[in-house]
């Protein structure tokens, strides 16, 4: 990109020098115009193009490395889309699970569509469990603790929210709600698409 820009500037400079040449009144007279120096400068730049391309390649490689570093997950976490997920096999209550996740710069997982929910089911199953707390809870309406919209629902069974305000995932179907002090494993999520 640098080489193209430099060649364009030099070509425009040469064209501007040619535009300054005054026409001669006698059409039969040949006037020598000295433009060899400009062509030599363009040739020098053209010879340097591979070096400039090599510099550009290094910058692109460095950018790729930085991008990978920015979008990588911490050790033990698993990446899905632009998030990092961590299945915790230790069982605890919903509020203890939320505190645990918050202490690691995360929240409990939410599901925005069937694909994400299926990923969470797989993560739970691979962790050796059939159930896991998710970040869903009821307070005047169903919500996710990570503040994402509760627009996708996948209820396998739903009980009265007044007595069962916390959502848990089931590997064999849709999610359900239960008493928040029941102890089960849980899933934390870290967003990698936001600054932290």
Measured from the Cβ of residue 124, the count of other Cβ atoms closer than 10 Å reads 25
Q: What 8-state DSSP symbol labels residue 147?
A: -
Domain boundary among 22, 40, 70: 70
Do 96 and 175 belong together in one domain?
A: yes
**Domain containing residue 10:** 2-70
Q: pLDDT truncated to tens, each residue of the chain (196 aa)?
A: 455 544 455 555 555 554 554 554 444 544 454 544 554 554 554 555 555 445 444 454 444 444 445 578 999 999 999 999 999 999 999 999 999 999 999 999 999 999 999 999 999 999 999 999 999 999 999 999 999 899 999 999 999 999 999 999 999 999 999 999 999 999 999 987 655 4
Do 66 and 82 belong together in one domain?
A: no
What's the CA gap between 123 and 12, in Å, rounded?
Answer: 60
* SS3 at position 144: strand
196 occurs within a structural domain: no
Question: What pLDDT sits at residue 72?
Answer: 85
Beta-bridge mates of residue 143: 137
What's the CA gap between 99 and 7, in Å, rounded?
Answer: 59
Question: What pLDDT sits at residue 191?
Answer: 86
101 occurs within a structural domain: yes
What the block records as the tokens of 103 is: 């202490």
- The structure tokens 């509760």 sit at 150
Do 90 and 29 belong together in one domain?
A: no
What the block records as the tokens of 10 is: 């030099």
Q: What is the pTM of this model?
A: 0.64
Helix (H) or strand (E) holding 185: strand 184-191
Question: What pLDDT sits at residue 190?
Answer: 94
Domain boundary among 19, 43, 70: 70
158, 160, 138, 159: which is closest to 150 by C-alpha? 138
What's the CA gap between 129 and 141, in Å, rounded?
Answer: 28
54 occurs within a structural domain: yes
Question: What pLDDT sits at residue 56?
Answer: 47
Do 10 and 97 belong together in one domain?
A: no
111 occurs within a structural domain: yes
Domain of 91, CATH number, reads 3.10.100.10
Domain boundary among 70, 104, 123: 70
61 occurs within a structural domain: yes
Q: What 8-state DSSP symbol labels residue 155?
A: B
Q: How many domains does the chain have?
A: 2
Do 167 and 96 belong together in one domain?
A: yes
Do 47 and 132 belong together in one domain?
A: no
Instruction: Please check whether residue 86 is in contact with residue 174, taking contact to mean a CB–CB distance below 8 angstroms.
Output: no
Question: What pLDDT sits at residue 145?
Answer: 95
């Amino acid at each position: 990109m640098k080489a193209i820009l430099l060649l364009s500037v030099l070509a425009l400079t040469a064209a501007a020098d040619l535009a300054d040449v005054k026409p001669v009144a006698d059409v039969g007279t040949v006037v020598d115009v000295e433009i060899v120096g400009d062509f030599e400068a363009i040739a020098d730049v053209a010879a340097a193009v591979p070096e400039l391309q090599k510099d550009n390649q290094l910058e692109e490689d460095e950018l790729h490395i930085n991008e990978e570093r920015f979008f990588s997950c911490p050790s033990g976490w698993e990446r899905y889309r632009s998030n990092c997920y961590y299945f915790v096999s230790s069982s605890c209550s919903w509020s203890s699970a939320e505190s645990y996740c918050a202490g690691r710069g995360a929240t409990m997982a939410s599901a925005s569509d069937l694909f994400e929910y299926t990923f969470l089911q797989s993560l739970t199953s691979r962790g050796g469990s059939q159930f896991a707390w998710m970040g869903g809870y009821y307070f005047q309406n169903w919500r996710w603790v990570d503040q994402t919209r509760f627009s996708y629902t996948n209820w396998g069974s739903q009980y009265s929210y007044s007595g069962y305000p916390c959502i848990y995932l089931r590997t064999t179907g849709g999610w359900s709600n239960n008493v928040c002090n029941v102890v089960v494993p849980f899933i934390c999520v870290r967003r990698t698409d936001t600054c932290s």
